[in-house]
Structure 1
Amino acid sequence: MKSFVKIGVVLGVSVLAASCFNKSKPNYQYFPNMYEAVGYEAYDQSDAFPGGMEAMYPVEGTIARGQSLYEYTNTNEGYEAAKANLVSTLDSVMIEDNMAKGKELYDIYCAVCHGTKGDGQGILVKREKFLGIPNYADREITEGSIYHVIYWGRNSMGSYAAQLNEKERWQVTEYVMKLRENLVK
């Protein structure tokens, strides 16, 4: 007898639930935008931006977090100005730590072309993938010129500004100066 009551209750609840279903009117959806997303085109004008702009621009005079303003342009004049005026901003107290980190980064990014000693005999040069990589002893380089070349690139060398942050660029610069000093001796 109890089983007939249970079956009856289940049938009653299912009939009641089925009677609430209406194909012409969908059921209530929680956050309907999650189910039927509105498609936007990347460069369409939108009411979300004032004046129908395509995108919001950063406030004038601001820079992204973790970035700094580098005032030297990617020209020969900018290179010469950086070579003459730009000096390291690293803390002179932590020289050993900066040299160790600079060597680590140099071995990752620079040694394949410039060689581990800075003699221009990296593995890519030995395999003749790149030719004419200069020896650090053969060039008049300064901290500023090295930093500028890492930031903007020069000749066949591309920029490493995206791979190295400002502190890391200075660490590599200090290590390159040490390599040059060892080669000139």
Structure 2
Amino acid sequence: MKQLLSISLICATGLLLLASCQNEREPNYQYMPNMYESVGYETYEKVEWLPAGTEAQLPAEHTIARGKIPYGIENNPAGKELSRALTSPLDSLQSEENLAVGKELYDIYCAICHGTKGDGQGTLVKREKILGVPSYDDVGRNINLGSTYHVIYYGQNAMGSYANQLNETERWQVSEYVMVLKENLTQ
């Protein structure tokens, strides 16, 4: 009994001492303060914690990222004119499959602005979030398969590039489907 009383007295004294150490004017001790107050670094900034002479490296010149195939035509008006001569490398025997995949990808990436019919009346245009999306059948727009591929690859005006979202085959499939939409609008 005396032993239990002395143990509880020691524990109570220890808790009392710990509680008396708290100072409400200063924050308590933080374990791993870097987790609470992290340090921000700029990209390619020199930092002191890296070994001497080591820094973040840029890719070597003239290298190509894995899975990327260079297009070879520049992003300028002359390059767009050159792209008009391009033809689709896809197998023409699978054209129905290509058009089905092209329609699916078009509905995902393009229809929100260009509309499901290619008339420039997508959801964002109807809600007036973006303006000036022309229809594929506009007289001033002389689009063909190659120029459509070029615009998907580089983007044009307010439209950004979709080269990172669509691989080469998918870009050609969407381009072929856009040509089908253009034919349907002109009829």
Determine if the TM-score, normalized by the shorter chain, exceeds 0.5: yes
Q: What fraction of aligned residue pairs are identical, expressed as a percent?
A: 59
| Equivalent-residue separation in structure 2 for 1:149 and 1:132 (angstroms) | 16
Q: CA 1:145/1:48 → structure 2, altered by over 3 Å: closer, same or farther? A: farther
The CA deviation at 1:101 is 0.7
Partner of 1:80: 81
1:134 deviation in Å? Answer: 0.8
Please list the CA deviations of residues 69-123 of structure 1 after superposition, one character each: whole Å capped at 9, or x if unmatched: 111111111111112x222111112111111110010001100111100011111
Q: Distance in 2 between matches of 1:92 and 1:102?
A: 14
The structure in which a higher percent of residues are helix is 1
**Which whole-Å CA distance do the structure 2 matches of 1:48 and 1:170 have between them?**
48
1:183 aligns to what? 185
Count of aligned residue pairs for this structure pair: 141
Please name the residue that 1:103 is paired with. 103
Could you give the per-residue CA deviations for residues 24-71 of structure 1, whole angstroms, max 9, x where no partner exists?
xxxxxxxxxxxxxxxxx855497798xx7752633x554222211111
Residue type matched to 1:63 in 2?
A: I
1:127 matched to which residue of 2? 127
Question: How do 1:157-172 and structure 2 match up within 5 A?
Answer: 157-172=159-174
Give unpaired runs (5+ residues) of structure 2: 1-40
For the residues of structure 2 that align with 1:62 and 1:73, how far apart are their CA atoms? Answer: 17
RMSD: 2.2
Moved more, 71-80 or 104-113: 71-80
Shift >3 Å, 4+ stretches: 41-49
Aligned residue number for residue 71 of structure 2: 70
